[in-house]
């Protein structure tokens, strides 16, 4: 099985009172894992269902390996689809669920048995072939749905929040398995989720969606390190946001005055993707980019005093909420770091490197 290229160009879908998908274009390379990441109503599921053939498009073109499929009914598209809540057939057992696409394609019984034996091994369900769907756990149902969508060797697999109904540890485990299966089979995956951690872990590229548009399409690292907008910086991972006024600019570096503290000046980096054009801007700093020190230490240049309001122990990391003149700031650092030693009530100094403070147009 080899993956196919998926080309989505200028997709639009309007419902009576709102635009679900607004001129979305996306090219997925053969064998690539691309995630549509967004909140509910961002258009991610509508886009996926349009590729699957369940949404009548107002405009746009969808092609698989260059072949336009926009006019084809779902059953003629030959794409594997894993639905939210799996949509298994409760009246059929595991074997017959997985056999369904093969029976529709009129495969012979020996060929069906061979293909199912293989695919159930891939999802580690070989021993459950005769079980009824109602007798399976959520994780097992997920695997059946995956096997059913893969058994006819589709070149593209579409997945709509496949892990949404499962608890954390099971999600992590299945996440790893989905990634392994996708690599082994070489199938192209278009994946929809609202869970940013899932998207970061699984994807070759992520398309962050909001209000029917793609805000940024890039690798997980790129999206995390160079978000295209303040929205993306806040949606993928955490960010501290500070309203500032631009004072001067020298290449990528800029001098800014925070709105909250009269007279103070910071240095920051104008973001590559979206440099602020006007005087007002917002500065975003990741919680792990903030350093924490005792107040009496020598003040570095980008620093503000504050007081630890809350200390949350997260296991591998510690998350501190610091009350400052700029409002509450979140700091995250390792369990054994300098920052982890502070307790609630301690007075501290917050500082950051100008490279880690990104400037965006105001939201």
Partner 1 sequence: MSARLRSAVPAALILPGFLLVAGLFVWPVAQLVATSFGDRAGALVHYVKIFTEPTYLRVVGRTLLLSAQTAMLCVLLGYPLAYQLNRAGGIGKAVILVCILIPFWTNLLVRTYGWIILLNPQGVINGVLRQLGLIEGAVPLVYNTTGVLIGMTQIMLPYMVLPLAAVMSRLDPAVMRAARSLGASPAQAFLKVYVPLTLPGVLGGFLLVFMLSLGFFVVPAILGGPRDLLLAQLIEFNINQTLNWPFAAALSTVLLAATVTLYWIGDRFFGLGRLWGAR
Whether 78 contacts 134, CB under 8 Å: no
| b/e 255-265 (16+ beta carbons within 10 angstroms → b) | bbbbeeeeeee
> Quick one: which of 8, 26, 79, 340 contacts partner 1 (CB under 8 A)?
79
The one among 104, 111, 301, 344 contacting partner 1 by CB under 8 A: 104
Residue 214 zone, left/alpha/beta (φ > 0; ψ -120 to 50; rest)? beta
CA distances from 171 to 189, 197, 323 (A): 18, 11, 35
Nearer to partner 1, 23 or 96 (CB): 96
Nearer to partner 1, 131 or 213 (CB): 131
Tokens of 181: 């299966």
Alpha helices in the chain (DSSP H): 44-52, 94-104, 109-122, 138-150, 168-185, 196-202, 220-225, 230-235
Q: Which stretch binds partner 1 (CB under 8 A): 31-39, 78-86, 219-227, 348-356?
A: 78-86
Give me the least distance between CB of 11 and partner 1, in Å please.
18
Strands 156-160 and 6-15: what pairing? unpaired
Q: Which residues contact 30 (CB under 8 A, 6 or more apart)?
A: 2, 3, 4, 5, 65, 155, 186, 188
Interface with partner 1: number of residues (CB under 8 A) = 26
* Interacting span for partner 1 (CB under 8 A) from 76-84, 120-128, 288-296, 336-344: 76-84
Closest to partner 1 by CB, 88 vs 174, is 88
Q: Per-residue contact track with partner 1, 128 to 167, x per CB under 8 A?
A: --------------------xx--x---------------
- The length of the chain in residues reads 363
Q: How far is the CB of 337 from partner 1 (least distance, A)?
A: 46
Shortest reach from residue 69's CB to partner 1, in Å: 13
Closer to partner 1 by Cβ: residue 152 or 352: 152
Q: How far is the CB of 100 from partner 1 (least distance, A)?
A: 5
Q: How far is the CB of 3 from partner 1 (least distance, A)?
A: 18
140 and 93 Cβ atoms separated by less than 8 Å:
no
Q: Which of 78, 195, 222, 346 binds partner 1 (CB under 8 A)?
A: 78
By the 8 A CB rule, do 207 and 196 touch? Answer: no
Cα dist from 211 to 21, 43, 197, whole Å? 8, 7, 21
155, 2 Cβ separation under 8 angstroms: yes
Q: Is residue 87 near partner 1 by the rule CB under 8 A?
A: yes
When binding is defined by CB under 8 A, the residue of 28, 37, 64, 81 that contacts partner 1 is 81
The nearest distance, CB 49 to partner 1, in angstroms, is 8
- Report strand pairing: 205-210 vs 33-38: parallel
CB of 96 to partner 1, least distance (A): 10
Position 52 contacts partner 1 (CB under 8 A):
yes
Q: How far is CA 216 from the centre of its chain?
A: 11
Q: Which stretch binds partner 1 (CB under 8 A): 31-39, 101-109, 172-180, 203-211?
A: 101-109
| Residue 48 is a binding residue for partner 1 (CB under 8 A) | no
Output 120 or 303, the one with its CB closest to partner 1. Answer: 120
Report, in Å, the least distance between residue 81 CB and partner 1: 4
Contact between 89 and partner 1 by CB under 8 A: the answer reads yes
Q: Which stretch binds partner 1 (CB under 8 A): 96-104, 255-263, 319-327, 346-354?
A: 96-104
Beta strands in the chain (DSSP E): 6-15, 18-28, 33-38, 59-64, 67-68, 80-82, 156-160, 188-193, 205-210, 213-218, 240-250, 253-258, 266-270, 280-285, 291-294, 303-313, 317-324, 327-334, 347-351, 357-360
Name the minimum Å distance from CB 91 to partner 1.
Answer: 5
- Binders in 56-75 for partner 1, by CB under 8 A: 73-75
By CB under 8 A, name the binding residues for partner 1: 52-54, 73-75, 77-81, 83-85, 87-91, 100-101, 104-105, 148-149, 152
């Amino acid at each position: 099985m080899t993956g196919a290229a998926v080309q989505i160009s200028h997709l639009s879908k309007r419902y009576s009172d709102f635009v679900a998908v607004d001129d979305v274009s996306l090219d997925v390379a053969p064998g690539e894992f691309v995630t549509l990441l967004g909140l509910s109503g961002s258009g991610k599921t509508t886009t996926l269902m349009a590729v699957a053939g369940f949404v009548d498009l107002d405009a746009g073109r969808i092609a698989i390996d260059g072949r336009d499929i926009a006019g084809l009914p779902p059953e003629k598209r030959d794409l594997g689809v894993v639905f939210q809540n799996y949509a298994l057939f409760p009246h059929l057992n595991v074997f017959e669920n997985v056999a369904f696409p093969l029976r529709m394609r009129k495969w012979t019984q020996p060929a069906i048995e061979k293909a199912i034996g293989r695919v159930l091994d891939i999802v580690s369900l070989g021993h459950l072939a005769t079980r009824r769907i109602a007798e399976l756990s959520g994780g097992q149902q997920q695997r059946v749905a995956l096997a059913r969508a893969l058994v006819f060797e589709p070149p593209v697999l579409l997945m709509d929040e496949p892990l949404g109904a499962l608890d954390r540890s099971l999600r992590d485990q299945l996440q790893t398995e989905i990634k392994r299966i996708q690599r082994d089979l070489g199938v192209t995956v278009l994946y929809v989720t609202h869970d940013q951690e899932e998207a970061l872990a699984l994807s070759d590229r992520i398309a962050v969606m909001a209000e029917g548009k793609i805000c940024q399409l890039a690798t997980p690292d790129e999206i995390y390190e160079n978000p295209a907008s303040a929205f993306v910086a806040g949606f993928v991972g955490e960010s501290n946001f500070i309203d500032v006024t631009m004072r001067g600019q020298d290449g990528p570096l800029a001098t800014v005055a925070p709105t909250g503290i009269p007279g103070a000046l910071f240095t920051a980096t104008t973001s590559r993707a979206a440099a602020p054009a006007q005087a007002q801007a917002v500065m975003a700093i990741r919680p792990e980019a903030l350093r924490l020190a005792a107040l009496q230490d020598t003040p570095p240049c980008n620093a503000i005093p504050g007081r630890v309001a809350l200390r949350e122990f997260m296991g591998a990391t510690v998350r501190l909420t610091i009350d400052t003149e700029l409002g509450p700031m979140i700091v995250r650092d390792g369990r054994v770091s300098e920052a982890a030693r502070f307790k609630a009530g301690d007075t501290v100094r917050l500082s950051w490197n100008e490279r880690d403070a990104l400037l965006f147009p105001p939201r």
